[in-house]
Structure 1
Amino acid sequence: MGRARTYEWEDPSITAAAVGSTSGLDFLRAIQAGRLPGPPITATLDFTLDEVNEGRVVFAITPGEEHYNPIGSVHGGVYATLLDSAAGCAVQSTLPPGMGYTSLDLTVKFLKRITADTGRVRAIGTVVSRGRQTALAEARLIDAQERLLAHATSSCMLFAVPTSTT
C-alpha cells in the first residue's frame, strides 16, 4: 500500500571543512564534479547542481509525489529550498578564498503550481549586487518551456571564515 524511497549521503563535515579554503567558485565546482560531497539536502530532495559560473548557478529537480503537500502539488518548502540554494550559491560563487556567507532572508513568490506532470524544473540564481559585507541575489524557478513558476530574493551576509589552528 505504501510507497518507499531510500537515499544515501556523505559526511557533510567534509564539505563544511573545505569552505573558504578555495574561492567560492572553485568550491562549488568541486561539489559539482564530485571531488567534495554534496550537501545532504540534495539527496533528501533529489536535486542536482547543474551549472556553476561566477555570479550564476543552476539547480534542477524532477518533481515527484514524494515532494507533495496534502493538496496534491509540490510543497512550498521544496520551492523555497531550491530558490534559497540557487540564490545563496550564486553569492558563494563570487567569494574569494577565506570568505563565507549565510542567508539573512528569503522572500518567495509562488506563481504556478508544480506537480509530477510538470517535469524537470530549474532554479537559476544570480547575484544582483555584492558588497564587502552583504550581497543581494535573486532566483527564478522555471519549467522546460521557460515559464516562471516562482521567484525569490535573498540577502546574504558575507564574513571571513575562521582559520583552523591545527
Structure 2
Amino acid sequence: MTRSRTFEWKDPSVSAAAVGQESGLDFLRSVLSGRLPAAPIAATLGFTLEEVEFGRAVFALEPGEEHYNPIGSVHGGVYATLLDSAAGCAVQSVLPTGMGYTSLDLSLKFLRPMTVDTGKVRAVGTVLNHGRRTALAQAELLDSEDRLLAHATSSCMLFPVTRS
C-alpha cells in the first residue's frame, strides 16, 4: 500500500542571515520561540528543537515509517542527523555574538534499533569543551524510558561570521 507525507518549511535564508547577529544561545531561543524559522531538514525529517540552554540542546522526534531503511527499522542517517543537530546546536549555544561554527567530524555508535514502536526519542547534546577555534560536544539519543539508543561526539570549528 502506498503512503505519502506532505511537509513545508520556511525560507532558510532568514535564519542564515541572523547567524552571528546575536549570541548563539539567543539565536537558538529565537528558533525555539518561532521568531526565526527552523532548519528545513527539521521539517523534512519531522524533528523539533525542544530545549536549549547554555551548553545544551535537545531535539525530539517521533519515529515513523518514513524514517525506515529497507530492513524495517529507522535508518542510521536519521540517528546521525539528530545527533549532529544536538551536538552542533549545543556548541552554537555557547558562541558569543559574531561567531559561527561548522562540524568537523561526527563519530557515532548505534546501540539499539529504533522503530515506530519506540515512541518519541530525544537527542540531547552537551558541550564538553570549547576554546577560541574549536569545540567538542557529545550527544545521546534516548528513548522515552531514557535508554541509550546511540551516542556521538563531534568536533566543531569556530569562526567569526562575516557579512558581505
What residue is the counterpart of 1:138 in the other structure?
138
What residue is the counterpart of 1:149 in the other structure?
149
Alignment of 1:21-36 (within 5 A): 21-36=21-36
Deviation at 1:83, TM superposition (A): 0.1
Task: Give 1:133's aligned amino acid.
Answer: R
What residue is the counterpart of 1:14 in the other structure?
14
Task: Give 2:160's aligned amino acid.
Answer: A
What residue is the counterpart of 2:84 in the other structure?
84
CA distance in 2, matches of 1:104, 1:138: 13
What residue is the counterpart of 1:57 in the other structure?
57
RMSD of the TM alignment (CA)? 0.5
What residue is the counterpart of 2:45 in the other structure?
45
TM-score by length of 1: 0.98
2:121 corresponds to 1:121 = yes
Q: Deviations over 1:9-45 (max 9, x none)?
A: 0000000000000000000000010000110000000
CA distance in 2, matches of 1:28, 1:143: 24
CA distance in 2, matches of 1:97, 1:42: 24
Task: Give 1:159's aligned amino acid.
Answer: F
For structure 2, list consecutive stretches of 5 or more residues without a partner in the other structure: none
CA distance in 1, matches of 2:138, 2:44: 24
What percentage of aligned pairs have identical amino acids?
73
What residue is the counterpart of 1:101 in the other structure?
101
Aligned length: 164
For structure 1, list consecutive stretches of 5 or more residues without a partner in the other structure: none
Deviation at 1:163, TM superposition (A): 2.9
CA distance in 2, matches of 1:90, 1:34: 18
TM-score by length of 2: 0.99
Q: Deviations over 1:48-80 (max 9, x none)?
A: 100000000100000000000000000000000
Deviation at 1:112, TM superposition (A): 0.1
Q: Deviations over 1:84-134 (max 9, x none)?
A: 000000000000000000000000100000000000000000000000000
Runs of 4+ in 1 over 3 A off after TM superposition: none
SS of aligned partner of 1:86? helix
CA distance in 1, matches of 2:156, 2:88: 7
